[in-house]
Amino acid sequence: MIKFVLYYLILINLIGVIIMAYDKRRAINHKWRVPEAHLFFISIIFGSLGSIVGMFLFHHKTKHLKFTIGMPLILIIQVIILYKFRLILF
């Protein structure tokens, strides 16, 4: 079970980084963007760490408080959930 959770977390966080890079590229080229709801959805389904890394790596959405405060709050809640259910080891 823990192995499955680890693989899932790696995959969804890679998706979080990739989707931030993709949205940033679309923004630079003035093209259709990924809806903010989709960015938050990836974060909520445990992709928050990857989304945060992508956000700062690509300097994307860093001026929006709902992202700079919201994503870390989601991450904190997720770490608590994973710890409480012993799905990660600290």
- Which residue's structure tokens are 């989709």? 38
- Encode 68-79: b = buried (16+ Cβ within 10 Å), e = exposed: eebbeebbeebe
pLDDT tens, the chain, 90 aa long: 778 888 999 999 999 999 999 999 999 999 999 999 999 999 999 999 999 999 999 999 999 999 999 999 999 999 999 888 877 665
Which residue intervals of the chain are DSSP H helices?
A: 2-28, 36-42, 48-57, 65-68, 70-84
Residue 62 φ/ψ, nearest 5 degrees: -80, -10
Name the residue ranges covered by the structural domains of the chain. Answer: 2-84
